[in-house]
Amino acid sequence: MRIDIITILPELLKSPFEASILKRAIDADLVEVCLHNLRDYTSNNYKQVDDYQFGGGAGMVMMIEPIDKCISQLRTERSYDEVIYMTPDGQTLDQSMANELSLKGNIIILCGHYKGVDQRVRDHFVTKEVSIGDFVLSGGELAAAVLCDAIIRLIPGVLGNETSALTDSFQDDLLAPPIYTRPSEYKGWKVPEILLSGNTPKIEAWREEQAYKRTKAIRPDLLDE
Ligand code: ADE
């Protein structure tokens, strides 16, 4: 898989790919992530990427030309399955969207800024608009990092124990059950006896019941779907 990220703040997006699981995935050639500075595709001396809104109104708009130039340049080298625009008014990211996107070959992620991009970018280049939640960030970069993390950890071979992604919260529309490690008793606080019993079927039944109870208490909406 290859992910090309178009941004006016590439430095903001470097570190998530330089540590831990994402770095290991890149080092193992399971995914390639390339950052592209939108200002490198401007044709004016000031490397300007935004301009005033037609019709008036507060806030600047990202111009179509540098975005077109950048995407067109990338498309001369490979074809893309999706051009994703990170925006608070997009479709909300969830686990099923992450599962779907982890199966793609090449994707472009465009990070929005200011009031957003010229509508013609959305009409003619963007194939998917993604929000990471109903709140507004200063730009799409941190949202893009969240999306990349959610996708990359699902690529086969990225997680050491492949079953561990399958037991994540949300993979079966349930939150994950409580987990414990040593010591079995700390300051008088005990690990549930069942987990120490060695009885695998009973442990599995307990985990399912706990996952259900937790989901019902915290995210009952997941059970309605
Ligand atoms: N850009 C600003 N806020 C965002 C959000 N919530 N999701 C995706 N991109 C964004």
Tens-place pLDDT, residues 113-148: 989 999 999 999 999 999 999 999 999 999 999 999
The single residue listed with the structure tokens 């992910």 is: 3
Which atom of ligand 1 is closest in space to residue 132's alpha carbon? 7
**Which pLDDT belongs to residue 164?**
75
Q: Is the pLDDT of residue 213 over 80?
A: yes
Ligand 1: centre distance to CA 198 (Å): 45
Q: Whose CA is nearest to atom 7 of ligand 1?
A: 131
β-partners of residue 5 are 35, 109
Measured from the CB, is residue 116 less than 6 Å from ligand 1? no
**Ligand 1 and 117: CB distance under 6 A:** no
Average of per-residue pLDDT across 50-61: 96
What is the CATH class of 169-224? mainly alpha
pLDDT for res 53: 97
Q: Is the pLDDT of residue 15 over 80?
A: yes
Q: What is the pTM of this model?
A: 0.94
Q: Is 102 in the pocket of ligand 1 (CB under 6 A)?
A: no
CATH class of 2-152: alpha beta
- β-bridge partners, 4: 34, 108
Specify the pLDDT at position 125. Answer: 98
Rounded mean pLDDT of 9-30? 97
The ranges assigned to domains in the chain are: 2-152, 169-224
Q: Are 46 and 75 in contact (CB under 8 A)?
A: no
pLDDT at 86: 98
Q: Is 131 in the pocket of ligand 1 (CB under 6 A)?
A: yes
Best of 87, 89, 148 to mutate for ligand 1, by most ligand atoms within 8 A of CB?
87
pLDDT of amino acid 169: 81
DSSP state letters, 160-219? SSTHHHHTSTTTTSSPPPP---S-SEETTEEPPGGGGS--HHHHHHHHHHHHHHHHHHH-
Alpha-carbon separation of residue 41 from 3, 76, 116, 192 (angstroms):
18, 15, 18, 59
Give the pLDDT of residue 162: 59
Any atom of ligand 1 within 6 Å of the Cβ of 88:
yes
Task: State residue 114's pLDDT score.
Answer: 86
Q: Separation of 166 CA from ligand 1 center, angstroms?
A: 27
Mean pLDDT for the stretch of residues 79-93: 98
CA of 30 to the centre of ligand 1 (A): 27
Q: What is the pLDDT of residue 50?
A: 97
**Residue percentage of the chain with pLDDT more than 90:** 92
* Ligand 1 pocket: which of 97, 115, 131 to mutate (most atoms within 8 A of CB): 131
Mind listing the pLDDT tens digit for each residue in 25-49?
999 999 999 999 999 999 999 999 9
Q: Where does the pLDDT of residue 206 fall: very low under 50, low under 70, confident under 90, or very high at 90 and above?
A: very high
Q: Report CA(78)–ligand 1 centroid distance (Å).
A: 27
Task: Give, for ligand 1, the residue of 89, 137, 142 to mutate: max count of ligand atoms closer than 8 Å to Cβ.
Answer: 137
Q: What is the pLDDT of residues 161-200, one digit of tens each?
A: 756 787 788 878 899 999 999 999 999 999 999 999 999 9
Instruction: Give the pLDDT confidence score for residue 166 in this predicted structure.
Output: 76
